Amino acid sequence: MKNMKSVALNCLLVCCFTFTSLCLIAQVAPDQDTNPDLSCPASGEFQNDDTRVVDIPNSVNVGTVDDRSCYSDYSESSAYGQTWGVYNITHLSNHWDAPNTLQPRIERSMPRSVETGVGSYARFTGTLRILEVGDATGTSNDGSYLMQTKGKHTGGGGPADPAICLYLAMPVYGDDGNGNIAQVSFDIVREQINFRGGSGAAGRSIVFLKNVGKDELVDIELEVGFRADPDNPNLKIHYSDAVIGGEAFNWNIPEPERGLESGIRYGAYRVKGGRAQMRWANTTYQKNEVVDNSDPAPCTDCIALRNVETGQFLTAAGGSAQPVTMSNSREAINTHWRLVDSGNYINIDSYSQTGGTGILRAPGAGGPGGAYVVLSTTKAPPAGDTDKTWTVHYDATTDTYRFESRTAGRFLYQNADGTVTHIEVPATDNRSVWEGIPTDVVSSLEIAESNVKSIRLYPNPVRQNEDLTIESESQQAYQIFNLQGMLIKSGTEKTIKMDLEKGVYFLKQQNSSSVEKFIVY
């Protein structure tokens, strides 16, 4: 195996730089499709409208095939003393999905690892040869995916089965020795999410990994799973680690606490011009399941929303599109909420790990729960949807909030029958007034209650990187503590730049027993 790899790689390098006659012959792989016709056969040979699982008996590649290309079904070839799975797709050859929606593909998937305890993982290995990738005339749509890690998460956001990290082969062009421009090698890049559900230019980042030659035999390892956080034994990391041609490229997935499963797909996917050809051999797969019995990670910026009139707490429903409810206790995690910045508005986001795990929705008169009934969702923040954004009205005198559904003039309201709606109502109606109570306990900061406040902070809540103004009779220095009572900032200025993480904080002036709570969002 090593000798064959060395011959293939050395021949490629000679071809790229000296173009000897021997290597010119090797420029075309022994099992490469060189047919200039990239259209699906007029005969409809590969047209199959009954199932996307078009496989051959006892295929050499592991996993269940997903074939969405009428150009060529999965087949196998012999080259370099091995049997290879053949994955050939062409532009516009997806005959399954609606036009201009999903890309052509022949991919294989394996059973997901559905537990999230430390030690759970899905692991794939194989040997890859890249012969050709999608050519979209030098645009950002060049290239084809060779493998990806998948995993659903709490809170929604993105497609129902979101990709976490995709590994993309981008074409590198050169002279084929006959004066023709051809794909001579490929840059492998990692297209990774910036946040759960991230997609498009804003939701993903591109990271270059390495270059591999055309028809080079490249050993691949891909593992996605959960491991302990070395910096905090109470936390875990959701990772997507790859080894490509002997080089390790590890990456930690954002928001690990929201991960629900780990999966892998491989083959050939996406071709927005031309043709893609991948060859896979020696594929293996294994997974391990470890139940996560730990408590959810504490939310350092969560509050419980207590209705001033009833003393009850706003509670996320058990699933999407179901009406929110009220509870007598704020202990349950579905009574914990975060205020997440969404442009000029906020999302009210549930910290629940199951059921209604997303942001609150405020439908109109024809809403699924009834007229103006507020619903749970599984959509993750930040989201700018008109029916899922709110304006916060804070009263510093009473330290209370009213939440207006965007600018509709309707406010979050607990009705006498316990239902929660958003309706037009005056500020004097306490059923539309809410207290924001930190869900964490303060371990060392004692807060003195006082009927007369000597400090006023505004605006409160305050956005990240905006200014918080201290208004008080004294000119004492201030101290800012987090929910755990740790001192995190101090100074003497009266206008403070909020360069803090989103969350709940307390400000205390020296030689004063008065402490004021404020929220950064």
Please give, one letter per residue, the 3-state secondary structure of 381-399. CCCCCHHHCEEEEEECCCC
Q: Is the pLDDT of residue 8 over 90?
A: no
DSSP per position, 407-456 = TSS-EEEE-TTS-EEEE---TT-GGG-EEEEESS--SS---B--SS-SEE
User: What is the Cα–Cα distance from 482 to 507, expressed in whole angstroms?
Assistant: 9
Average pLDDT over residues 71-75: 94
| Residue found by looking up tokens 């293939």 in the block | 8
| % the chain with pLDDT above 70 | 88
Predicted TM-score (pTM) of the model is 0.63
What token pair was written down for 362? 């405020």
Give the confidence band of 330 by pLDDT, cuts at 50, 70, 90: confident
What token pair was written down for 44? 């409809």
Give the confidence band of 21 by pLDDT, cuts at 50, 70, 90: very low
Give the confidence band of 113 by pLDDT, cuts at 50, 70, 90: very high
The highest-level CATH class for domain 455-520 is: mainly beta
CB 206 within 8 A of CB 166: no
Beta bridge partners of 401: 394, 434
| pLDDT score, position 365 | 95
Q: Active-site residue numbers?
A: 150, 269
3-state secondary structure (DSSP) of residue 19: coil
Q: Is the pLDDT of residue 133 over 90?
A: yes
Query: What is the residue type of 205?
Result: S
What token pair was written down for 519? 């929220």
Mind listing the pLDDT tens digit for each residue in 204-260? 999 999 999 999 999 999 999 999 999 887 789 999 999 999 999 999 999 898 898
H or E element: which one contains 201?
Answer: helix 200-203
Residue among 100, 255, 101 nearest 164 (CA): 255
Residue among 474, 486, 484, 481 nearest 512 (CA): 474
Count the Cβ atoms, other than its own, within 10 Å of residue 289.
Answer: 16
More confident residue, 500 or 486: 500
What token pair was written down for 409? 């003039």
Mind listing the pLDDT tens digit for each residue in 22-57? 333 337 899 999 999 999 998 888 888 888 999 999
| pLDDT score, position 445 | 45
| pLDDT score, position 4 | 39
- Please state the φ and ψ torsions of residue 254, each to the nearest 5 degrees: -60, 155
Average pLDDT over residues 102-108: 95
Give the confidence band of 322 by pLDDT, cuts at 50, 70, 90: very high
Average pLDDT over residues 295-304: 74
H or E element: which one contains 339?
Answer: strand 337-342
Burial class (CB in 10 A: 0-12, 13-18, 19+), 246: exposed
Q: Is the pLDDT of residue 318 over 90?
A: no
More confident residue, 178 or 454: 178
Q: Which fold has domain 2-288?
A: Jelly Rolls (2.60.120)
| Residue found by looking up tokens 């979101």 in the block | 162
Beta bridge partners of 221: 125, 243
CB 328 within 8 A of CB 128: no
Average pLDDT score over the chain: 86
User: What is the Cα–Cα distance from 122 to 131, expressed in whole angstroms?
Assistant: 27
List all residues 6 or more positions away from 225 whose beta carbon is below 8 Å from its beta carbon.
113, 119, 120, 121, 122, 123, 238, 239, 262, 288
What token pair was written down for 124? 């794939």
Q: Is the pLDDT of residue 283 over 50?
A: yes
| Residue found by looking up tokens 């730089």 in the block | 17
- Strands in 64-67's sheet, in edge-to-edge order, are 64-67, 105-109, 263-269, 144-150, 163-175, 181-193, 204-213
| pLDDT score, position 442 | 42
Q: Is the pLDDT of residue 155 over 90?
A: no
Count the Cβ atoms, other than its own, within 10 Å of residue 125.
Answer: 16
H or E element: which one contains 480?
Answer: strand 478-481
303-438: which CATH number, 1.20.120.420, 3.90.226.10, 2.80.10.50, 3.40.640.10? 2.80.10.50
Domain ranges of the chain: 2-288, 303-438, 455-520
User: What is the Cα–Cα distance from 462 to 502, expressed in whole angstroms?
Assistant: 10
CB 423 within 8 A of CB 367: no
Domains 303-438 and 455-520 equal at CATH topology level: no
What token pair was written down for 494? 């009266």
| pLDDT score, position 156 | 60
Cα angle 364, 365, 368; round to 5: 80
Q: Is the pLDDT of residue 286 over 70?
A: yes
Give the chain's end-to-end CA distance (angstroms, integer): 56
Q: Is the pLDDT of residue 434 over 70?
A: yes
